[in-house]
Amino acid sequence: MSSSIRHGYETCGVKGYYEQHGQVYRNPHYRSLCQSLKQLLINSPRGRTEILRGLLNTDRLEVLDLACGAGEGTQALLQTLKILQPLSTLQQFPKIILDISDPYTLEAFHSQQTKTPLPTTTTLRDKSEYTFQDMSRTEPLTDKRYDMTICSYALHLAESCLFGVLYHLAMHSRYLVVASPHKKPVIDVSMGWQLVEHVVIEKVHSWLYKSLLT
């Protein structure tokens, strides 16, 4: 975590920081995040096999970017899937239905996409109502089924409601990718997820999980 963001958390609190700065948020560790996801999903035999067998076998994928920030997690994930696609049985890159959710940073996400556009095969939908607190108490995902959820640099900030968030996600998403600047969050089978692979690149931890509930 950068010293400026850490200082912002200490000064304003996490919620206060994003209320004040969410519209201009950028993850300063984007390069390391991309390298970490490539290591997780491409260079790791277990990660690569799981993604090729369980995900890149259809021409349409539904993805949720939970606590999406400025879209760094989405960009890193899509870059990685593009590299893997020629190794799959697919003739072309699949159509992506992408739901983005963050109560504070959607403006930053859309601003960044004007500079680094998503693939033309991507359909983007705003789901700002998917907050950690709501997902831990209720099921805003009741009628949704995602192939993958990515949560980048956020779940370690949601420890107070982590179990509820992850258990509900496990009922509605087949795979989960988590990236964090720490060893946390700690996710186990009681939350509905089986660990496939964990890698660390330049202090960026990335995990791939498979749901036990879908």
**pLDDT at residue number 170:** 95
Domain-embedded: residue 119 = yes
Domain-embedded: residue 62 = yes
Domain-embedded: residue 15 = no
What's 48's domain CATH number? 3.40.50.150
**pLDDT at residue number 52:** 93
Report how far residue 146's alpha carbon sits from residue 126's, in angstroms, rounded to the nearest whole number. Answer: 15
8 Å CB contact between 56 and 84: yes
**pLDDT at residue number 105:** 76
**pLDDT at residue number 157:** 73
**pLDDT at residue number 12:** 55
* Domain count for the chain: 1
**pLDDT at residue number 13:** 52
Report how far residue 144's alpha carbon sits from residue 146's, in angstroms, rounded to the nearest whole number. Answer: 7
* Domain assignment of residue 148, given as a range: 40-84+93-211
Domain-embedded: residue 16 = no
Domain-embedded: residue 2 = no
Cis peptide before 185 (omega within 30 of 0): yes
**pLDDT at residue number 212:** 98
Q: Which residues of the chain have pLDDT under 50?
A: 1-3, 7-10, 14, 21-22
